Amino acid sequence: MAIIALGYLGVRSDRLDDWSDFAGRLLGMQKIDRGGKALAFRMDDRVQRLLVSDEPGETLAFLGFEVEHKSDLQFYAARVEAAGIKVHPAAPGLADRRFVGDLVWFLDPMGNRVELFHAPMIASDPFVPGRPIDGFRTGPLGMGHAVLHVQDIEVMMPFYRDVLDFHVSDYGLQPYGLYFFHLNERHHSFAMVGSGQQGFHHFMVEFQNLDDVGQGYDIAQQQEGRVAYTLGRHTNDYMTSFYANSPSGFFVENGWGGRLIDPATWEPHETHDGPSFWGHERLYLTEEGGRKRLRDMRLDAAARGRRSPPVPDCPWLYNEIAKTGK
């Protein structure tokens, strides 16, 4: 019984032409022409990972989380109903539009649409990226991660942790609650920022090749206002990434080299290093609006010698290091 990955994601936007350029030419996803008004994109062998629907709002439309067994749909539907939230079966045609065998959906306590699905369709033709890249790191790790702004973290945290069984990876409490959750070996597939705002903060896709992030960074720097965070490295998932402003205003993190964890032995813990070892300068913030504070945090982390371990991708080693405290 488990929710095992972030499988797909939907965005509502009036700016379909901009999304076509952004997801195809900058991110390197494969645009699928289905003739309708929505834009669909592939990232791998699945028929669909990102859907941009021509609806107003410029925000997240839905998050699609994959369950391990078909019976998990009913299991979690019952859990969510018991928490006082109405769960809807898929209306006729919805599972076909999502290219999955079956799904249920509900609105989480802050009104975000969550879809739980089973049996995604695999494409018969190979993935063809929108620019020359080696592809995305997906498979059992899912499509990446999604991060929400939340108004009331005291309600949202227990809902995702206790009702949906999302596992806390780590959390920061200053200046407000920031919780990261894993569903598989990816350090986090989902996170929430208790900023008191409502909305979509970002989603992340992970590239197989660092050069593909760097070449995307070059493209982004040619576009006025496209880079939101400069290239940098995160302290908790060790992701090397930059953040782009999407056509809808939220960010898309372009990452490489994220750590894998061992969910069987991982212990949730508080973090104190701030978000980045280096880089990730917040170009979208004013100096006094948070940019300086975040820069000072990473300069402080660097001055204390904080950095990732030398082997970027070895759960066994991380556990050995954690055991010895070195």
Per CB under 5 A, residues contacting Fe ion are 204, 253
User: Least separation, in Å, of the C-beta of 294 and Fe ion?
Assistant: 14
Closer residue to Fe ion, CB minimum distance, 67 or 257: 257
User: Least separation, in Å, of the C-beta of 326 and Fe ion?
Assistant: 28
Closer residue to Fe ion, CB minimum distance, 106 or 255: 255
CA angle 162, 164, 166 (to 5 degrees): 80
Which pair of structure tokens corresponds to residue 10?
Answer: 């939907």
What does R_g of the chain's alpha carbons equal in angstroms? 19
User: Least separation, in Å, of the C-beta of 314 and Fe ion?
Assistant: 21
Closer residue to Fe ion, CB minimum distance, 76 or 160: 160
User: Least separation, in Å, of the C-beta of 92 and Fe ion?
Assistant: 36
Q: What are phi and psi of 165, to 5 degrees?
A: 65, 30
Closer residue to Fe ion, CB minimum distance, 31 or 233: 233
Closer residue to Fe ion, CB minimum distance, 80 or 204: 204
User: Least separation, in Å, of the C-beta of 165 and Fe ion?
Assistant: 21
User: Least separation, in Å, of the C-beta of 316 and Fe ion?
Assistant: 25
Look up residue 15 and give its amino acid: R
Q: Provide the Cα torsion 38, 43, 47, 48; round to 10°.
A: -40
Query: Is 9 in a helix, a strand, or coil?
Result: strand
Q: Which of 169, 173, 179, 170 is nearest to 147 (CA)?
A: 179
Closer residue to Fe ion, CB minimum distance, 108 or 253: 253
Closer residue to Fe ion, CB minimum distance, 72 or 253: 253
User: Least separation, in Å, of the C-beta of 251 and Fe ion?
Assistant: 8
Q: Are 204 and 241 in contact (CB under 8 A)?
A: yes
Q: Which of 119, 108, 106, 107 is nearest to 66 (CA)?
A: 119
**Who contacts 147 (Cβ-Cβ below 8 Å, separation ≥6)?**
190, 191, 192, 193, 200, 201, 202, 203, 204
The span from the CA of 43 to the CA of 54, in Å, is: 21
Alpha helices, H only, 83-199: 94-98, 153-158
